[in-house]
Structure 1
């Protein structure tokens, strides 16, 4: 059985919930964005500035492939990881994909003070989030094996729901 991939928009709780899920399942946890930063020695905004979004997406795809080739783990992806066909295919073929969904209003609340999100640094953040949601939500839905709403629930409750559904489906 493969890894567990968390997908969803920025601010959905992928990292927080991912850490807790990994602990609950006694598995290692990886955040694709953090791994890209650790390996490259620079932060994501710098990669966007120097290499553009395409350069970052190339690094993201390579990291997703590397982490997905390793031992079973919980892997939190970046919000845009689903835009590449090969990433969706890799996650579907190598594990269970869990879509953590949230509203744009909740994303705005959760990302308001975060300066490390390059796509929100230009223009109107709400407009950007709505545009990204319109583009990406169909891809999240397409790739997901499980979908959970994170707005009204504590991270601990979301993790309990994920574990219960994974057990029910025979994934753990």
Structure 2
């Protein structure tokens, strides 16, 4: 089945938010923008929404208010976004580590675990926007430690997409096939 046919099949069956979960650097925002575009759905990055609500950048939130305050704001933002209907939502890497937030995502959305190998995650997070959990640390070691804790939670997602190939079209097709398989069973 070609991409256009697959998009058509999936587009008409989306009846709730699609939420992308996974580690930092996996490509959640990149895939989310693309999914939103091809499915005709709005795309929202929960990190951007947290920054907008707080009136400051995430590194500033961590530095001045601390990670618990950031996670509180993140939980409120995700709850609000889930109530806004069909859209594609990219979440921060630790969003699902708060059980009540994870439970809302699993219950109220179509969840997709966006994955990549550790070496790829480390490379993608080395240069780019500041990431408070990596500040002054070895990215590969931090990501390895986080994966031990977070991967079992991410694994609860309905669909898994591997972004290691880096090919946007192949990644998009993985996501669309996963959605088509899931929605065909619902």
The residue that corresponds to 1:60 in the other structure is: 74
Asked if the contact 1:33/1:60 (under 8 Å) is kept, the reply is yes
- Gaps spanning 5+ residues in structure 1: where? none
* Deviation for aligned residue 1:105: 0.5
Asked if the contact 1:115/1:121 (under 8 Å) is kept, the reply is no
Counterpart among 97, 102, 110 of residue 116 in structure 2: 102
Asked if the contact 2:165/2:171 (under 8 Å) is kept, the reply is no
CA distance in 2 between counterparts of 1:155 and 1:61 reads 29
Structure-2-length-normalised TM-score: 0.87
Asked if the contact 2:125/2:139 (under 8 Å) is kept, the reply is no
Asked if the contact 1:32/1:76 (under 8 Å) is kept, the reply is yes
- Gaps spanning 5+ residues in structure 2: where? 1-14
The residue that corresponds to 1:27 in the other structure is: 41
CA distance in 2 between counterparts of 1:81 and 1:109 reads 22
* Deviation for aligned residue 1:114: 2.4
State the 4+ residue runs in structure 1 displaced beyond 4 angstroms.
none
The residue that corresponds to 1:163 in the other structure is: 176
Q: What's the Cα RMSD here?
A: 1.5
CA distance in 2 between counterparts of 1:38 and 1:53 reads 17
CA distance in 1 between counterparts of 2:126 and 2:178 reads 32
Per-residue deviation, residues 113-158 of structure 1 (Å, max 9, x unmatched): 124200000332221111111110011002x100111112412221
Larger radius of gyration: 2
The residue that corresponds to 1:15 in the other structure is: 29
Asked if the contact 1:17/1:156 (under 8 Å) is kept, the reply is no
| 1:1-172 correspondence to structure 2 within 5 Å | 1-142=15-156, 144-170=157-183
